[in-house]
Amino acid sequence: MVETAFTGLPFFRKSHIFYQLRIICDLSCNLWFDTKQEGELLVIRRPFRLAETFYLDPNIIRPSRHRTLAHQYESWGNIRADLISRTELERQETRVAFPWHMFLMNLKGAALRGEDFIDGRRVSFAARRPGSIIYIPAESEWTGWDEGDAIASYLLVSIERGFAEQTFAGTAFCRPAELPPWIGFRDSTIEMGLQTIAAELRYPDPISVTMVECQVAQLFVHLVRLNRTCHQPAKGGLSAFDLKRVMAMIESSSDGRPTLADLAKEVGISRFHFSRAFKQSTGMTPHAFIARRRLEQSADMLRSTNLSATRIAMECGFSSSSHLTTAFRRAFGANPIEFRRKCKT
């Protein structure tokens, strides 16, 4: 029996208790887990191929000063998911350059200030709150730093390149490797897919691999569609200055729901021309964009507060709690109460 060079996951959960462990592989391809606290030796008898092991250390990719670190992970061959939580978190550095494609989603805590660089080129930084998503394609490098809330957790899903390419085999659409890096975007479909993967990580069973592979395929399909609309040149769209003013108005309006006339007046054009220019710039109509922001804000409040669904519906501009429930189920596949329970599991 020899100890491998791959230390793997530094924590093992047994009866909801984490143990420090070493991973050992014997010549019969059994995995042995030697826990330091109790000295017991656990064995999982299943084939283990070192060539397929994808090692991730959160202290290397996102080093930071923190008091505690909890790290869970699950691997399904071509896909791996890591759930990382920290307390008393201070400044967090980022150094990510994976051979696999990567999705990262904020689950708890907000990054309020910082800097981001993609392949050495500085990109604009926007505050990342729970639900914010980052996509980094294989071989791209994401570096930077951020500061924010003292308690934070995130989900990181890594996908082997060959598996991702199979999703688009025989189609004319762009491949995952051709998608650009995307930092700090929001999308309810991708968020729900990542939440489903997180649930399979926490409570795996023999069919988890099928569920996870289906979710990953949907993530890439939806990301390709988003890329086709959001990253196309905005000919005839709003200027960057006008678009920024409109976004600020949408976010800061007292009831959160400025009318189309209000937005058009802000930039001094007719409602018809504003609608067309806004869609050219964002890929969405003003109504669809504001509706999505309402859902994102309600999802944030369900995660971070104990307010009732009725109160959240009022705060986010829905006409009633049933209106919120209908819109939420259509976007997330779950009603607000189910969504809150899933997020807080």
The string of DSSP letters for 84-115 reads EEEES---EEEEE--SSEEEEEEEES-EEEEE
Claim to verify: residue 96 and residue 226 sit in the same structural domain: yes
Last residue of a domain, one of 211, 230, 249: 230
What is the DSSP secondary-structure string of 221-246?
A: HHHHHHHHHHSS--TT---HHHHHHH
**Whether residue 245 has pLDDT greater than 60:** yes
Over residues 18-46, the pLDDT tens digits come to 333 333 333 333 444 444 444 444 443 33
Contact in structure between 316 and 324 (CB atoms under 8 Å): yes
Per-residue DSSP letter, 31: E
Mean per-residue pLDDT over the chain, rounded: 76
**Cα distance between residue 287 and residue 278, in whole Å:** 10
List for the chain the helix, strand, coil content (%; round to 5): 40, 25, 35
Residue 330 CB coordination number (10 Å) = 10
Q: What is residue 269's predicted lDDT score, i.e. its pLDDT?
A: 82
Distance of CA 276 to the CA centre of its chain: 30
Claim to verify: residue 96 and residue 196 sit in the same structural domain: yes
Is this prediction's pTM over 0.85?
Answer: no
Q: What is residue 80's predicted lDDT score, i.e. its pLDDT?
A: 94
Q: What is residue 298's predicted lDDT score, i.e. its pLDDT?
A: 87
- Range(s) of the domain holding residue 277: 240-343
Q: What is residue 243's predicted lDDT score, i.e. its pLDDT?
A: 85
Residue 204 lies in a domain: yes
Claim to verify: residue 221 and residue 107 sit in the same structural domain: yes
Q: What is residue 143's predicted lDDT score, i.e. its pLDDT?
A: 92
Task: Tell me the CATH number at 198.
Answer: 2.60.120.10
Indicate the range of 168-182, 259-273, 291-305 predicted with least confidence: 168-182
All residues at 6 or more sequence positions from 200 whose CB lies less than 8 Å from its CB, including other chains: 74, 81, 208, 211, 212
Q: What band does 316 get if pLDDT is binned at 50, 70 and 90?
A: confident
Residue 296 lies in a domain: yes
Distance of CA 251 to the CA centre of its chain: 22
Closest C-alpha among 130, 118, 136, 138 to residue 154: 130
**Cα distance between residue 314 and residue 27, in whole Å:** 62
**Cα distance between residue 275 and residue 264, in whole Å:** 8
> Tokens in use for 7?
């230390």
All residues at 6 or more sequence positions from 127 whose CB lies less than 8 Å from its CB, including other chains: 110, 111, 112, 113, 148, 184
Last residue of a domain, one of 197, 230, 263: 230
**Cα distance between residue 278 and residue 199, in whole Å:** 37
Over residues 49-95, the pLDDT tens digits come to 333 334 566 666 776 776 667 889 999 989 999 999 888 877 888 88
φ and ψ at residue 217, rounded to 5 degrees: -60, -45
Per-residue DSSP letter, 38: T
Claim to verify: residue 112 and residue 211 sit in the same structural domain: yes
Claim to verify: residue 280 and residue 291 sit in the same structural domain: yes
Claim to verify: residue 225 and residue 76 sit in the same structural domain: yes
Contact in structure between 158 and 83 (CB atoms under 8 Å): no
Claim to verify: residue 250 and residue 285 sit in the same structural domain: yes
Taking residues 196-217, report their average pLDDT: 92
**Cα distance between residue 212 and residue 139, in whole Å:** 23
Element (H, E) at 275: helix 271-282
Domain count, the chain: 3
pLDDT top residue among 281 and 1: 281
All residues at 6 or more sequence positions from 97 whose CB lies less than 8 Å from its CB, including other chains: 139, 140, 141, 142
Task: Tell me the CATH number at 259.
Answer: 1.10.10.60
> Tokens in use for 287?
């109504």
Per-residue DSSP letter, 177: G
Q: What is residue 135's predicted lDDT score, i.e. its pLDDT?
A: 94
